[in-house]
């Protein structure tokens, strides 16, 4: 239920401090499509900003700069 930057901060404080964006897909989509590339091709891979609230089952690649 936290925002993407707060969730990133749980991993490392630098992730929260330098948060740029989160690239997100659901684990259910991974099970359905099998690869990240196929998730992208299906249009299910998305970019989210600082206000995004993390949902249960999200797979997130945090982009940050410090």
Residue 25: its pLDDT value, please?
99
Model pLDDT for residues 34-49, shown as the tens digit of each residue:
999 999 999 999 999 9
Answer whether 54's CB lies under 8 Å from 14's CB.
no
Strand partners for 60: 24
- Homologous superfamily in CATH for domain 4-64: Beta-grasp domain (3.10.20.30)
| 12 pLDDT tier (thresholds 50, 70, 90) | very high
| 19 pLDDT tier (thresholds 50, 70, 90) | very high
Answer whether 18's CB lies under 8 Å from 66's CB.
yes
Find all residues with CB under 8 Å of 40, minimum gap 6, and list them. none
Q: How many CA atoms lie within 13 A of 42 on its CB side?
A: 14
Residue 1: its pLDDT value, please?
86
């Amino acid at each position: 239920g936290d925002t993407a930057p707060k969730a990133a901060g749980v991993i490392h404080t630098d992730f929260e401090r330098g948060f740029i964006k989160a690239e997100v897909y659901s684990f259910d989509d991974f099970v359905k499509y099998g690869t990240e590339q196929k998730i992208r091709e299906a249009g299910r891979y998305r970019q989210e900003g600082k206000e995004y609230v993390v949902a249960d089952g999200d797979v997130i690649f945090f982009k940050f700069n410090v």
